[in-house]
Structure 1
Amino acid sequence: MSDQVLVGVDGSEASLAAVDVAVREARLRRTRLRIVHAFIWPLMRVPLGPAQDGPPEGGLRHQAEGILADARARAEALDPQLEIETELVTGEPLTVLSRWSREAGLVVVGSRGLGRFGALLIGSVAVHLAAHADCPVLIVRGRPDPAGPVLAAVDGSGVGAEALGFAFAEAAARRAPLTALHIAHPSTSWPDQEERVLSEALAGWREKYPDVELRSEVVEAHTRPALIEASREAQLLVVGARGRGGFAGLLVGSTSQAMIQHAHCPVVVVRHPSERTAEA
């Protein structure tokens, strides 16, 4: 795995918005940007060139090349100094982005794609990537507050620790405050115990990132609605793929799925290294 930023594009406005975010993330990481378009039509055995009586610039391959060219031009306009690579890859988006995530430090995807069922499709794309990508996945959605904090969901699990580490690093790179939020179920929580979970989760990170302005809080509430509400004032929400109390067979938990679909700001889903190793 490298630290390059990978973004998938399909020509939609949402994927171009993802390019904007990916450019910023690559700049923050001082790394290169790789823009990928999954070209599924060769698998369908359909003609890829222009129609016999059509314009020479027509055809599916030319259209795909145009999608990449537009995305590259947008990225170059935002940061002319950024190192950018474009790739036209035969395959369907889920498989292509999962495979190429092995060479990335972050994958960025838009909140909806082309087509009538775009909003539904992004749920499947984002959940699939969150469950199988070899690096964190950033889903560009909502209307982030650019002055808001990076919001991290803390649950005391191993994957929660990975997500918290990512959140601290992101807050430091953005020079943004960090809100570490531990949500305890009202009917099963013990205040002293929940405060200890939060304190232990933060141990070490404060020292590693002393310049990050940190606010930590324990809230008694139901996890999903509380995180969705808190995301209104955030510029980014970071969650673990599957936290404490999740079913072992689920690579993406119900909380992260809910955030992918309903958060008011972009969402990063982080997996634990042991989950990635188990799939290798």
Structure 2
Amino acid sequence: MKDITRIVVGTDGSPEAWNVANWAAGQAERQQVPLQVLRSVELPTVESPGAELSPAEHWYSPDVVDEVRSQATEQLDGVVARIRDQYPGIQVERELLVGHPARTVLDSTQPGDLLVVGRSHMTGLLGRMVGSTTEEVLTHARVPVVVVPPTEHDATGPVVVGVDQSSSQEAFVVALEWSLERNLPLLAVAANDFDKAFWARQSPSLAEKRREQLETEQVRLLQPLVDQQPGASVRVAVVDGEPVTALRQASQGASLLVVGSRGRGGFSGLLLGSTSRSLGRECDVPLLVVPNVKD
């Protein structure tokens, strides 16, 4: 990704969080950009209207707040030290955040950042990324976001990108650049998700013609972008089913799955509502969400 000037990663000190930080550090090393490591602290509180103190200060004694922050700082320092040991060639900075995980992380990003978060059932930043916080980050982020799963994946696998017929192709351009930088195959996947009942009543040959039509149209849309990159190539596949299922099936064994966050439907708009939670929780490979800069 040519426009990335910094990688920002969230951590909570858990083993699952280290996998995320390690992935982010590897990308920072490859792209030769600084790495910012964040640790978020949010004490459970109840709003206290009229209170002069902040919710945390109102409900907890200063020694409790200080201890929580101290432990979080220690975890953060441990992750940073491990990164610096394994990736001595990259610049690493750290920051302890206090407040709502999604909001504090989003406020810490700036144009040119790639934000990396994890999928974990632990508490803290990464745990809060499951469910509503994941949707909040993916919906409101103005920078590309990668959600890294806790399971191992093949870093040498192809790059898979979800495409549709919308005029916005930011996600495809990012996927194309990513695959070229790493010399990996690129697979563009379009979902054949039209009226299932109608097509079930048609002959197999007619349904196949419909798939061929979708594939031909998608190649027509993408080829001008491919032609702008010397040595680039892409394989287009039309997969039957709704977008999330189609993407999950097509991305098995991939090194990265790329989708857009806005659009008129299909893959460009699939990260709104319940679909974002589904991909964020269930995707077996790193998921890169590219915002539409025109929004």
Same fold by TM-score, threshold 0.5 exceeded?
A: yes
- How far did 1:79 drift? 0.9
Deviation (angstroms), 1:249: 10
Map of 2:51 onto structure 1: none
Check the 8 A contact 1:5/1:32 in 2, yes or no.
Answer: yes
Q: What is aligned with 2:105?
A: 97
Q: 1:44 aligns with which of 52, 56, 61?
A: 56
Task: Give the alignment partner of residue 89 of structure 2, picking from 53, 77, 81.
Answer: 81
Aligned equivalents of 1:212, 1:4: Cα separation in 2: 25
Q: Structure 1 length as normaliser, TM-score?
A: 0.83
**Inter-CA distance 92–254: structure 2 relative to 1 (3 Å threshold):** closer
**Would you say the 8 A contact 2:148–2:285 is kept in 1?**
yes
Q: Which amino acid aligns with 2:42?
A: I
1:4-28 Cα offsets, whole Å, 9 max, x none, are 1010112222222111111122123
Unpaired segments of 5 or more residues in structure 2? 44-53, 197-206
Corresponding residue for residue 215 of structure 1: 235
1:70 CA displacement: 1.2
Match of 1:154 in 2: 163
Letter in 1 for 2:143: C
Number of matched pairs = 267
With structure 2 as the length reference, what TM-score do the two structures score? 0.79
Which residue is 2:9 aligned to?
7
Cα shift at 1:234? 0.7
Q: Determine the C-alpha separation between the residues in 2 that align with 1:59 and 1:253.
A: 37
The alpha-carbon distance between structure 1 residues 185 and 174, as it changes in their structure 2 partners (threshold 3 A), is same
| RMSD, aligned CA | 3.0
Name the residue aligned to 1:18.
20
Matched, 1:108 2:116: yes
Residues 1-280 of structure 1: pairs in structure 2 closer than 5 A: 3-41=5-43, 43-45=55-57, 46-47=60-61, 49=63, 59-115=67-123, 121-141=129-149, 142-159=151-168, 161-185=169-193, 187=195, 190-191=210-211, 193-245=213-265, 252=272, 254-275=274-295
Percent identity at matched positions? Answer: 29
Q: Give the letter aligned to residue 84 of structure 1.
A: V
Do 2:9 and 2:36's aligned partners in 1 also have CA atoms closer than 8 Å?
yes
For residues 146-177 of structure 1, what are the alpha-carbon distances to aligned partners after superposition, in whole Å with 9 as ceiling and x for unaligned?
23101101112245x11111111211222211
8 Å Cα contact 2:189-2:250 kept in structure 1: no
